[in-house]
Amino acid sequence: MSDEGQRLPVTTDQDVVRVRQAVRTFSVAVKLSLVDQTKLVTAASELARNTLVYGGGGEVVVTRVQNERRAGIKIVFADEGPGIVDLTLALTDGYTTGGGLGLGLSGARRLVDEFEIDTEPGKGTTITITKWCR
Amino acid sequence: MERVPVLKIGDILLVSIQIDMEDQVALQLQEDLADRIVATGCHGVIIDISALDIVDSFVGRTLATIASVSRVLDAETVVVGMRPAVAITLVELGLSLPGIRTALNVELGIELLARSRQDELTELDFDEDEPDAAAVSTS
Ligand SMILES: Nc1ncnc2c1ncn2[C@@H]1O[C@H](COP(=O)(O)OP(=O)(O)O)[C@@H](O)[C@H]1O
Ligand SMILES: [Mg+2]
């Protein structure tokens, strides 16, 4: 079961700030611990920036989710950019094609409970992350 | 675009980041600080991040760059006020901020700067007073 999500465009720097703020609001609403809120907002910031910078812009959907035992937040980052050719490489700490620190993908994966990438060269990239309340 | 103000207090430049910065705002701050260090001749920079509820790899990199640039311009940077949850998250993200000096609050940051400036000056004196000793040890 899941509620209706919030859909946010990601086409400017300011949109990345809005994604952070929306994820923060959802995190507070489902009562994630302060450290988990901080981890989820940080992961969302990294992935939304990638959607903007590498994906050429796209969309983020934040949804409150619920399983039998607990509540959580699911966030989907989708773009129709170039896709990621070598996923293993992209997920390696320190690997960057854009002069960054190369910690966005690998770091975000460590900060959340579930992390899924669906990417196809020439078609785009969709990343789904979930964080559950403890 | 918003801009983060840089205040001069004595020999120190104080930056207190009070907004959720867009990437461009962070880059602008980096430039503004370099300009102000040169314009004022200040030897210390304090960046207060106590109002920031996250530091991601972009802001982390900006802080590291500010520290490196100021060092080249003969100024020491101290980042103060990092929240515990931010510190935990940064480490898990994989960002240990090497080369960045930190202190718990502005007051301790000012003390740290004063002490390290003092040490630097003492070292300079020592080098000038004993040129022979230095020559012997390197030969
Ligand atoms: N949405 C995306 N579309 C295409 N390539 C991407 C995307 N996200 C990440 N990448 C690729 O993965 C690399 C690593 O990303 P990341 O870990 O965030 O590091 P950084 O952003 O510092 O480069 C990027 O440099 C880029 O080549
Ligand atoms: Mg990135």
CB A131 within 8 A of CB A119: no
Quick check: pTM over 0.90?
A: yes
CA of B2 to the centre of ligand 2 (A): 23
Longest dimension (CA), chain B: 57
pLDDT one-digit tens code per residue, B42-60: 999 999 999 999 999 999 9
Task: Please give the average per-residue pLDDT across A23-52, as a whole number.
Answer: 98
| Residue B80, CB-side half-sphere exposure with 13 Å CA sphere | 22
Task: Give the pLDDT of residue B99.
Answer: 82
- Residue B20, token pair as written in the block: 């959720």
Distance from A34 to chain B by nearest Cα, in Å?
7
Percent of chain B at pLDDT > 90 equals: 79
Query: In this complex, do A100 and B58 lie within 8 Å of one another by their Cβ atoms?
Result: yes
Cα B90 to ligand 2 centroid, rounded to whole Å: 14
% of chain A at pLDDT higher than 70: 98
- The interface predicted TM-score of the complex, written ipTM, equals 0.94
Domains with residue ranges and CATH for chain B: 6-111 (3.30.750.24)
User: Residue B115 contacts by C-beta under 8 Å, 6 or more apart in sequence?
Assistant: none
For atom 11 of ligand 1, the residue with the nearest CA is A90
The pLDDT score that the predictor gives to residue A4 is 73
pLDDT higher than threshold 90 for residue A70: yes
**Kind of pairing, strands A71-79 and A6-10?**
unpaired
- What average pLDDT score do residues B110-117 get? 94
Rounded Cα–Cα distance for residues A127 and A47 (Å): 8
Q: How far is CA A133 from CA A12, A50, A114, B119, in A?
A: 31, 26, 13, 48
pLDDT at B138: 45
Give the contacts of B22 (CB within 8 A, at least 6 positions apart): A13, A14, A16, A17, B1, B2
- The domain ranges of chain A are 6-132
Chain A residue closest in CA terms to B86: A38
Kindly report the number of other CB atoms within 10 A of residue B5's CB atom: 12
Tell me, what's the pLDDT at A112?
98
Mean of pLDDT over chain B = 91
The tokens for B82 are 């990092």
Query: What does the pLDDT read at residue A97?
Result: 96
Structure tokens at B30: 């980096």
What does the pLDDT average to over A63-81? Answer: 97
Q: Is the CB of A96 under 6 A from ligand 1?
A: yes
Residue B2 contacts A where some CB pair is shorter than 8 Å: no
pLDDT, average across residues B79-100: 94
Nearest ligand to the CA of A51 is: 1
By most ligand atoms within 8 Å of CB, the mutation choice from A96, A119, A123 for ligand 1 is A96
Please give the average per-residue pLDDT across A22-31, as a whole number: 98
Among chain B residues, the shortest Cα distance to A41 is held by B54
Instruction: Output the CA–CA distances (angstroms, integers) from residue A32 to A17, B51, B122, in the order listed.
Output: 20, 20, 50
With residue B8 as reference, give the H or E element that holds it.
Answer: strand B6-9
| Residue A45 CB–ligand 1 contact under 6 Å | no
User: What is the CATH superfamily name and number for domain A6-132?
Assistant: Histidine kinase-like ATPase, C-terminal domain (3.30.565.10)
What is the average pLDDT value for chain A, to the nearest integer?
96
A80-110 per-position pLDDT tens digit: 999 999 999 999 999 999 989 999 999 999 9
- Residue B123 pLDDT: 85
Which ligand is located closest to the Cα atom of residue A105? 1
Of B22, B92, B93, the CB nearest to A17: B22
DSSP state of A115: E
**How many angstroms separate the Cα of A120 from the Cα of each of A4, A130, B17?**
27, 22, 39
Neighbours of B74 (CB within 10 A): 12
Query: pLDDT-based confidence at B139, cuts 50/70/90?
Result: very low
| Cβ–Cβ gap A93/B94 under 8 Å | yes
Chain A closest-CA separation from residue B71 CA (Å): 21
